[in-house]
A and B are shown apart, each in its own frame.
Chain A
Amino acid sequence: MAPTVPELGRFAEPALLILVSLSEGPKHGYAIMTDVEAGTGRPLGPGTLYAALARLEERGFIEALEPVDRRRPYRLTGLGSTVLAEQLLQLADFAKLGLRRLGDASG
């Protein structure tokens, strides 16, 4: 099982991080980058961020709001919430499986 947003290739992981970031409310690019870096300890480059944002927007998982100055916030759509929930449940199942096996091995 691949714990990724489906069908996004190398952008699957950044896309998942962006969806998680937007799950607490609308954010613009800079805020998403800061949030992802704070949460994962890994920086998200601007090229990767916008390649992933464009894909998520194209698939209807997020939508752009009116820009404030030159910053445009994005928010999760209903479809995006559903996809994110499915992905996180899959990840949780995967984590449970791994922990159970680890417990079996050490116990």
Chain B
Amino acid sequence: MARRAALAMLRFYPSRWRARYEDEVRALIEDRPTRRRDVLDLARGALDARLHPPVPSRIPAVAAIAAGGVWTVWSLLILTGPAPPDWPGYVEEMLLSALAVVAVLVLAVTGAWLRLGDDATSFERVSISLALAGHGAWFVLLLAAAVGIAYGAPTAVASTAAAVGTMLVGFALMTANDTRVGALVAIAAVGLLVPYTIGWLVFGLGWVAAGFAMFENPRRGRRLQSF
């Protein structure tokens, strides 16, 4: 029973990992008695293999470029368009795009943080926790606005928390010698804190630039390059 569950766990590993290691792990499981804790260990291993693949995923880079691109287009439209007649003006028009952007940014900021590698410090854990909590709350509040429940101060608080967390992730990357990506992520986050549309443009362009930087250098930061 435990052996069958252990073998089933191998299906949750990424395909690249399975192509490289599955045969030998399968042989290992079949050659020895399997304990229940081995099944849990393989489940943790599968999660780890997805979070820390030997060849980093391009998804966070694509997510950063896509989300930043959409935000940039909206910012340009707002900057060059006529002033909105009254509240909520353009905010209402861009709610659905904003929802999609915030959801996709979760992938981007998580991917950026994962570049830090295995031994995250407390500061690095706090930064990603704040960024994810902020993005989560921001998404929920935008959703509430989209269905007409509310929009206002709580959304601003949530987006500020997301921005501060993201900025800290950027600083963490910079101190971990991933200077370029870290600086661009931090600049994008600072843009969101600026209460003018030009700040939104910085936010969008910053994420686009961070996405291209992640594409150019997909390797994780300090911990791989320090030897």
Residues of A within 8 A of B (CB): 6-12, 28-30, 33, 43, 45-48, 50-51, 53-55, 58-60, 67, 69-72, 79, 83
Contact = CB atoms under 8 A, between A and B. Distances in A.
Nearest to A47: B45
Nearest to B24: A72
A58 B119 CA distance: 16
B118 A10 contact: yes
Interface of B: 6, 9, 17, 20-21, 23-29, 31-32, 35, 37-38, 40-46, 48-49, 54, 117-120, 222-224, 226-227
A11 B41 CA distance: 13
Given A12-B119, A45-B41, A6 B25 contact: no
B122 to A, nearest CB: 13
Contact of B119 (A8, A48, A71): A8
A48 B46 CA distance: 10
A63 to B, nearest CB: 13
B197 to A, nearest CB: 41
Contacts of B6: 46
Contact of B118 (A7, A43, A67, A69): A7
Given A59-B227, A70-B26, A83-B227, 18 more contacts: A6-B227, A7-B223, A8-B119, A9-B118, A9-B119, A29-B24, A33-B32, A43-B37, A45-B41, A46-B6, A46-B45, A47-B44, A48-B44, A60-B227, A67-B24, A70-B24, A71-B27, A71-B28
Nearest to B226: A7
B41 A46 contact: yes
A9 B44 contact: no
Contacts of B222: 7
A87 B37 CA distance: 29
Contact of A47 (B42, B54, B119): B42
A28 B31 CA distance: 12
A58 B54 contact: yes
